[in-house]
Amino acid sequence: MAERDQAVHRIPEVLRDAGWTVCLVGEEQSGKLAQVTAGLRRGPDPSGSGKLITSGFSYWGLESTVAWAHACNDLYYPVMRESIASFSRRWRGLSERLPDGPLHYVSLGPGTGQKDQALLRSLDSRGRCGCYIPVDVSAEMLRLAQREALQHLHVPAADVLPVQLDFSMPANLDRLGTLIRRTVGSEPVVYSLLGNTLANFDSDTQLLALLAEKLLRPQDRFLLEVASTAGQDEAAARAAAQEYENSPRFREFVTSALLQYTDLQIDMNSLTCEGLVEDDRALKIKVIYRNRTGSELQLTLPDRSTVRFPDQDTIRLLLSRKYTRTGLEKMLVDARVTTVGETHEAGHTAFDGPAFGMTLLLLAPGDGTRPAGPNPFD
């Protein structure tokens, strides 16, 4: 036992050699594989609500990671590229609203790490950088993000603690919360969930509420980035879907999971993006793979079992949303967080198209209920 302790203690020294990174793996990866197969085994549904690949698995694995990094730089997929390019400017508007003193940074789903770099750089330039803890389902993504995020920064390797785990599971969040508190004590932490990642989850509000409840202490802040829409009619929904459909690299990215977990012969023409209006809260975009071969196919899954994939049946590869103002506000109230700062960036949409944008919010915990005392200004 003593021997092993010592080995762990030697890690900071090992990390001085730039080739090594540590990664804490927070859950059984084989269990994850069972989750993917369960999603793909669901019954036939031609409307896109049957078989699916849930959020984290679109990015899990090396192929998906590489495909995602390519999609982020695709000229035909400007949403992500512009969101990354404008991030440091948008972040600057909010950074004054952070608590004083050193700050630790926990990035939930760091992706390619470019935004983390902008954020860490701004903290570093003021000498306020604490620990950097990127959290992702994908180990490959973590390594990529870490390398990108820490370029030319003065964060000691021993202050960087990548964690591989699925943050959409309550039990994982309990353990992540404990790990973070043990690492940073009572010092404030900034969490981030950027790049409209929240919109990838079926129960987005519940996820945000869960993250806030399990992770946020009064001294902590949460940086949330979501895509937004001014219009919420059918035309806007179609335009939103179009945005995804145009990019070949994005198509490669969404199908990379299919390539990994099934033996499907992928035909890019079978990929469609559907835009729907989700009440008054959001435009919902489903990226769907449809069997258009005219005959039933068999899918072989990673556990070698086979699943029927009848003609016109679908696999939902990705879910995304663009939130309306009311939708976003309601979600924040339901998740019991309050907005401390906000910047809004109008997107690149053509002048005659619907106005899509990106909203960056700095949130603090708070149940949103009003205090009961008399208020002379009410």
Ligand X SMILES: C[S@@+](CC[C@H](N)C(=O)[O-])C[C@H]1O[C@@H](n2cnc3c(N)ncnc32)[C@H](O)[C@@H]1O
Q: Answer yes or no whether residue 134 interacts with ligand X by CB under 6 A.
A: no
Told to check if 185 binds another protein by CB under 8 A, we report no
Q: Is 378 in the site for another protein (CB under 8 A)?
A: yes
Answer for which of 10, 89, 97, 126 binds another protein (CB under 8 A) is 97
Residue 146 sits at φ, ψ, to 5 deg, of: -65, -45
CB 323 within 8 A of CB 58: no
Binding window for another protein (CB under 8 A); candidates: 41-49, 67-75, 299-307, 366-374: 366-374
Q: Yes or no: say if 228 and 197 are a contact pair by the CB < 8 Å rule.
A: no
Is 28 or 96 the residue whose CB approaches another protein more closely?
96
Task: Please count the residues of the chain.
Answer: 378
User: Among residues 156, 144, 94, 147, which one has the least CA distance to residue 119?
Assistant: 94
| Residue 110 in contact with ligand X, rule: CB under 6 A | yes
| Beta strands 189-193 and 221-229, pairing class | parallel
Give the binding-site size for ligand X (rule: CB under 6 A).
18
From the list another protein, ligand X, none, pick the one residue 232 interacts with, judged by a Cβ distance below 5 to 8 Å according to partner type.
none
In terms of CB distance, is 273 or 364 closer to another protein?
A: 364
Binders of another protein among residues 195 to 214 (CB under 8 A) are none
Q: Which does 374 bind (CB under 5 to 8 A by kind): another protein, ligand X, none?
A: another protein
- Contacted entry of ligand X, another protein, none for residue 173, CB cut-off 5 to 8 Å set by kind: none
* Minimal distance, residue 221 CB to another protein, in Å: 9
Cα torsion at 347, 352, 354, 355 (round to 10°)?
30
Nearer to another protein, 206 or 339 (CB): 339
Task: Give the residue, chosen from 26, 48, 56, 61, that forms a contact with ligand X under the rule CB under 6 A.
Answer: 56
Contacting residue, 4, 182, 304, 370, with another protein by CB under 8 A? 370
Shortest distance (Å) from residue 120 CB to ligand X = 13
Is position 102 an interface residue for another protein (rule: CB under 8 A)?
no
The reply to whether 376 sits near another protein by the rule CB under 8 A is: yes
Q: Which does 138 bind (CB under 5 to 8 A by kind): another protein, ligand X, none?
A: ligand X
Using CB under 6 A as the binding rule, whether residue 138 contacts ligand X is answered as yes
| Contact call for residues 224 and 361 (beta carbons, < 8 A) | yes
Position 340 contacts another protein (CB under 8 A): yes
Q: Return the one option of another protein, ligand X, none that residue 320 interacts with (CB less than 5 to 8 A, by type).
A: none
Q: Per CB under 8 A, does 78 bind another protein?
A: no
Q: Specify the residue, 166 or 313, whose C-beta has the smaller distance to ligand X.
A: 166
- Taking CB under 8 A as the binding criterion, the range among 142-150, 170-178, 323-331, 369-377 that sits at the site for another protein is 369-377
- Our finding on whether 77 is near ligand X (CB under 6 A) is no
Judge contact between 197 and 109, C-beta under 8 A.
yes
Amino acid at 310: P
Backbone angles phi and psi of 359, in degrees to 5: -115, 130
**Using CB under 6 A as the criterion, which residues of the chain lie in contact with ligand X when the complex forms?**
55-56, 59, 84, 109-111, 115, 136-138, 141, 166-168, 194-195, 197
**Using CB under 8 A as the criterion, which residues of the chain lie in contact with another protein when the complex forms?**
97, 99-100, 340, 364, 366, 370-371, 373-378
